Chains A and B, each alone.
Chain A
Amino acid sequence: MTENEAVVKPPPSDIGILGWLRKNLFNTWYNSLLTIVTIFFLWKSIPPFIKWAFFDAAWFSPPKVCRQIDGACWSVITKNIRFILFGFYPYEQQWRPLIAMLILFALLYYSKERSHWNKRLFYYWLVGLAVMGILMKGGIFGLPSVESTKWGGLPLTLLLSVFGLTAAYPLGVILALGRRSKMPAIKTLCVLYIELIRGVPLISLLFMGSIIFPLFLPEGITISKILRAQVAIILFTAAYIAEVVRGGLQAIPKGQYEAAASLGLNYYLTMRLIILPQALRIVIPPTVSVLISAFKDTSLVVIIALYDVLKTTQTVLSDPQWMGFSREAYIFLAILYFLGCFSMSQFSRKLEKELDTGR
Chain B
Amino acid sequence: MTDKLGEPIVEIIDLHKWFGNFHVLKGINLKVYRQERIVICGPSGSGKSTLIRCINRLEEHQKGKIIVDGIELTSNIKNIEKIRSEVGMVFQHFNLFPHLTVLENLTLGPIWVRKMPKKEAEEIAMHFLEKVHIADQAHKYPGQLSGGQQQRVAIARSLCMSPKIMLFDEPTSALDPEMIKEVLDVMIELAQEGMTMIVVTHEMGFAKKVAHRVLFMDGGTIVEGNTPEEFFSNPKHERTKLFLSQILH
Q: Give chain A's interface residues, CB within 8 Å of chain B.
A: 253, 255-256, 258-266, 269, 273-274, 277-278, 281, 355, 357-359
Contacts and interface: CB of A to CB of B under 8 A. Distances in A.
Interface residues of B, number: 29
A359 to B, nearest CB: 4
B99 interface: yes
A31 to B, nearest CB: 39
7 contacts: A258-B58, A263-B85, A263-B108, A265-B112, A277-B99, A355-B99, A358-B144
Contact of A278 (B82, B87, B99): B99
A262 B54 CA distance: 11
Given A260-B97, A261-B56, A358-B141, 18 more contacts: A255-B91, A256-B97, A258-B89, A258-B95, A259-B91, A262-B56, A262-B84, A262-B89, A264-B84, A264-B85, A264-B86, A264-B109, A264-B161, A265-B109, A266-B81, A269-B113, A273-B112, A358-B144
Interface string B76-120: 010001101111110101011111000000001100110000000
A99 to B, nearest CB: 39
B62 to A, nearest CB: 17
Given A273-B108, A357-B143, A358-B143, A265 B97 contact: no
Contacts of B81: 264-266
A357 B142 CA distance: 8
A275 B97 CA distance: 9
Contacts of A255: 91, 93, 95
Contact of B141 (A262, A269, A273, A357): A357
A55 B84 CA distance: 74
B200 to A, nearest CB: 15
Contacts, number: 72
A196 B94 CA distance: 41
Contacts of B89: 258-259, 262
Contacts of A265: 81, 108-109, 112-113
Contacts of B86: 264
Contacts of B95: 253, 255-256, 258-259
B161 A357 contact: no
A284 to B, nearest CB: 13
Given A263-B108, A359-B143, A278 B161 contact: no
A259 B112 contact: no
Given A263-B113, A264-B161, A269-B112, A274 B58 contact: no
**Central interface residue in B58, B77, B96, B161, by most chain A CB within 10 Å:** B58
B91 A258 contact: yes
Contacts of B58: 258, 261-262
Contacts of A261: 56, 58, 84
A263 B161 contact: yes
A281 B99 CA distance: 9
Q: Name the 7 nearest CB pairs between A and B, nearest first.
A: A264-B85, A259-B95, A255-B95, A262-B89, A263-B109, A358-B143, A357-B141
